[in-house]
Amino acid sequence: QVQLVESGGGLVQPGGSLRLSCAASGSIVSIDTMGWYRQAPGKERESVAGITSGGSTNYADSVKGRFTISRDNAKNTMYLQMNSLKPEDTAAYYCNAVVLTRWPARHDNYWGQGTQVTVSS
């Protein structure tokens, strides 16, 4: 069993910054791809950024140049540095990861419970 726990969300003014963390724990052998998703009230969940085990990244057009995704494989932790935040960034942010577990030995897709980011004056 694997758990993903997000942290770092909160209330921030437009133009401000937040850094989200996603810590994975459990019987982990390795983590393949990881990503951040967000869901605003009344809207569908959307991909924000993704990162491979080798560090290759991709971003939604709406956050390019403002957000930076990174990971620390030794700590099984992923981060999302969010700068120049806008009100439209307000959403619950979720961590996702494809994880190889020790036993059973299998790859599974896991989700965290989410952390709320609110950008408002």
SS (H, E, C) the chain: CEEEEEECCEEECCCCCEEEEEEEEECEEEEEEEEEEEECCCCCCEEEEEECCCCCEEECHHHCCCEEEEEEHHHCEEEEEECCCCHHHCEEEEEEEEEEECCCCCEEEEECCCEEEEECC
The phi and psi torsions of 26 (rounded to 5 degrees) equal 125, -160
Rounded to an integer, what distance in angstroms lies between the CA atom of residue 49 and that of residue 88? 16
The string of pLDDT tens digits covering residues 1-11 is 899 999 999 99
The string of pLDDT tens digits covering residues 24-59 is 999 999 999 999 999 999 999 999 999 999 999 999
15: β partners: none
Structure-block tokens of residue 111: 């989700």
> Is it the case that residue 60 has pLDDT exceeding 90?
yes
Structure-block tokens of residue 121: 């004056």
**What local confidence, expressed as pLDDT, does residue 4 receive?**
98
23: β partners: 5, 77
Model confidence at 14, pLDDT cuts 50, 70, 90, reads: very high
